[in-house]
Structure 1
C-alpha cells in the first residue's frame, strides 16, 4: 500500500483508527512537504521543515491566495476535475485540483449525515443560480451528489423557476425538506411574500440553509442581519448555514445562530490578527482551561480531506470560538482581503 493510500484509509476511518487527529495531521504534513513543491517551498522559507515540526501548532499554513497564483498539487497524478471559485467578474479565481472525486463524495456525505441524518430523510431543493451559471463549482457538485443519494423524485436544482420549486415542495411526501441556497437568491425568494406564504403547510419540516454570498447582486449583510430577514420571511425559527469553499473539500454546518460544527477530519485554529504565526489561547477546539474570553482571530483550517492538495490553509476569514470551544462563528473578513463569493461583512 502506498503512503497516500495508507493516509487515505486512516482519514476515512479517523476515530476508529488508533491515530489521533494530531498524529494523522503531522503525517499528512510530512507527506505534503515532500510531495507538494509549492507547499515545500513555502514551508522551507519559514524554516518549517519536518525536522522542525513536531506538534500540530507548528505546522505551516499556506495562505489561501496561493490557490489563485499557483497549482497546489501533492503527488504527480492528473486531477479528475478542477473546481473553481466564483469570485467576481474582475477578480482572479481560485482553482482546486481534485484527484479523487470518490473521496470527496464519500466524506461530504459522511459529514452531512453525521451532523444531520441520512440523506434519504430529505427532499433537497437547491437554489444556487450563480453557481449553476458555471460548470466547475464544488458546491454544485456536492449538492448534486446529495440530491442523487437522497433518492427523491421531488428535489433538484432551480435557477429562476421558484414557483415550480414551491409547487414541488408542496407535493413532496413526509420527509424533511432542505432548501439550500445562496444568500441573494433566498432573499429574492422571501420578497415574494405570496409565494412564500404557500409554504405554510410544510413549514414545520422546512430547513433553510444559506451558503453565504451576494455575488455582487445585493448589498452585503452581516450574518445576523441576513438570518433575521430570512427567519421572518420564511416564518421559521432558525436558519442553517454551510461553511465551505473551493479550496477545501470538507464542510462545516451550523444548525442555528451561526455556530459551526466540524467533521472529525477538519479543525479550525484561530491566529492572532496581527501575527499569523501565533494562535489565540487554547487553539484546539475542545481544549479549555480557565475562563473563556471571546477574541476574534484569523481562521486557519486543517482539512485532512485535502490530501492531494494542501491540508493546511490560512484563510482570510475572521472567527471566534464558542465558550466550550466545540464550535466557532465566522464574524467577517480581513479588510484588505479579496472579495469572495461567500463574503460576509464584519459584525460590529
Structure 2
C-alpha cells in the first residue's frame, strides 16, 4: 500500500522515534496525533464511528486523548475493525482462542513499519538498555510454525534486530527442544556470553517441569536476562508469578532484577514492560511496575461506571496506542490494574461484579451497531 509523504503512519513513526525536548512538547504532540488518528478512524472504520456517534463524540468535539471513545476489546472477536481494505493487509494477528475458541480476536495490520517501529523502540529501551546485541534463545514458536501470532512475529523481529548469530528458536515440533536448549546454555557458559531467554509463562512452567527430575542447574553468565512474555490464561496448570520467578532465579542464577515481564495483547500494537531493566541500567532503584512508553497512554477506570478511578484504586485498564492507527486507537481491556507513580501494576482479569463496567461498554457497542444497521 503506497502512502504519501508525511502521511499519518509516517508521522506516528517519527513521533515514536523522536526525543521530545520537554514533557509539555510531548503531551502537545501526542494529543494532536491522537485527535488526527481519531478523525481518520472515525471516517474509515464504520463500527468505531457508530460507537463514537452513539456517545455523541466526533472529530469536532474531541479535543483531548482522554475523550477518545474506547472500543471494548471484545469487539475484535466480533467485528472487522480496520480503516483499510483487509484483503490488502500486510499481516493478520489472531488471538490464541484459549477463552473462546470459536471467536478469536483479529487484528489487521495494513502495513508493518508502524508496528515494527513501536516494537523495536520499546524493546531497545526497556529490554536492551545499553546493549546493542545479545544471544536470544526463544522458547516460543517462530512465525513459520505460528504464522499469525503477534508474539511469534515479535520474537522473530527481536532476534533479527537485536540477536547475535547464536540466537535461535528452541521450540520445535510442538515442544521445547531440550537437547538443543541445553547445548545453547552450555555454549553460553563456556563463552561467558550473556543470553536472553524469552518465552511465554507456560513455556517456563514446562521447562522447569522437564528439568525437575535433575539436580543439574544452568547458571547463566552475568548480564543474562529471563524475559517472560506472560500468558498463563487457559493453561492446564498455573503457579503464581512470584513462585515462578523465584524458581527461575534459582535455576538460572539470574537476579530477580534481571527477570522482566511484558504486557502485550493481540489487539494492541505496542507493549509495556516492567521498569526494572530500564532503571537498573541507569543505576537507579528498579521497579516491577509496568512503564508506559511515550506513544502510549493509559487510564484506570472505575469498574462500575467507567469513570476515572482514584489513583491507587484498582480499576479497568484503558489503553491508548498511537501505533493502533489503522484499527482502534483507544481500547477498553478486560484487565484490572492500579496506577502508580511509575506506570501501572496489573492485578488480574475482570470478572464477577467487577465486570459491570465492561458489560455496559459492550451493551453500548452492540446498541450502536444495531442502530447503524437500521439507518
CA distance in 2, matches of 1:224, 1:198: 20
Counterpart among 54, 57, 70 of residue 63 in structure 2: 54
Bigger Rg over Cα: 2
CA distance in 2, matches of 1:133, 1:274: 41
- 311-320 or 101-110, larger mean C-alpha shift: 101-110
Matched, 1:270 2:300: yes
* 1:1-348 correspondence runs (5 A): 1=5, 3-5=7-9, 7-16=11-20, 19-76=28-85, 78-88=88-98, 90-115=101-126, 116-117=128-129, 120-129=132-141, 134-159=146-171, 160-172=176-188, 173-191=191-209, 192-193=211-212, 197-200=216-219, 202-214=220-232, 216-238=234-256, 239-256=259-276, 258-276=288-306, 278-281=307-310, 294-322=312-340, 324=341, 326-335=342-351
In the alignment of these two chains, the number of paired residues is 322
Deviation at 1:104, TM superposition (A): 1.7
CA distance in 1, matches of 2:192, 2:184: 13
Return 5+ residue gaps in structure 1 as ranges.
282-292, 338-348
CA distance in 2, matches of 1:110, 1:295: 30
Question: CA-to-partner distance for each residue in 1:50-80, whole Å, 9 max, x for gaps?
Answer: 2332222211110011111111112447211
Q: 1:203 to 1:174 in 2, by over 3 A?
A: closer
Are the counterparts in 2 of residues 189 and 196 from structure 1 also a CA contact under 8 Å?
Answer: no
CA distance in 2, matches of 1:203, 1:107: 29
- 222-231 or 328-337, larger mean C-alpha shift: 222-231
TM-score (normalizing by structure 2): 0.78
Deviation at 1:299, TM superposition (A): 0.5
Deviation at 1:294, TM superposition (A): 2.0
Question: CA-to-partner distance for each residue in 1:229-282, whole Å, 9 max, x for gaps?
Answer: 433443333221111111111111115564112221112111111112x1124x
Deviation at 1:162, TM superposition (A): 2.2
Matching residue of 1:290: none
TM-score (normalizing by structure 1): 0.83
Deviation at 1:184, TM superposition (A): 1.5
CA distance in 2, matches of 1:279, 1:23: 22
SS in 2 for 1:330: strand
Q: 1:251 to 1:203 in 2, by over 3 A?
A: same
CA distance in 2, matches of 1:80, 1:280: 38
Deviation at 1:6, TM superposition (A): 5.4
CA distance in 2, matches of 1:237, 1:299: 30
Q: CA RMSD in A?
A: 2.6
CA distance in 1, matches of 2:255, 2:320: 32
Deviation at 1:100, TM superposition (A): 1.3
- Following TM superposition, the consecutive aligned residue runs of length 4 or more in structure 1 with deviations greater than 6 angstroms are none
Are the counterparts in 1 of residues 47 and 79 from structure 2 also a CA contact under 8 Å?
Answer: yes
- 111-120 or 30-39, larger mean C-alpha shift: 111-120
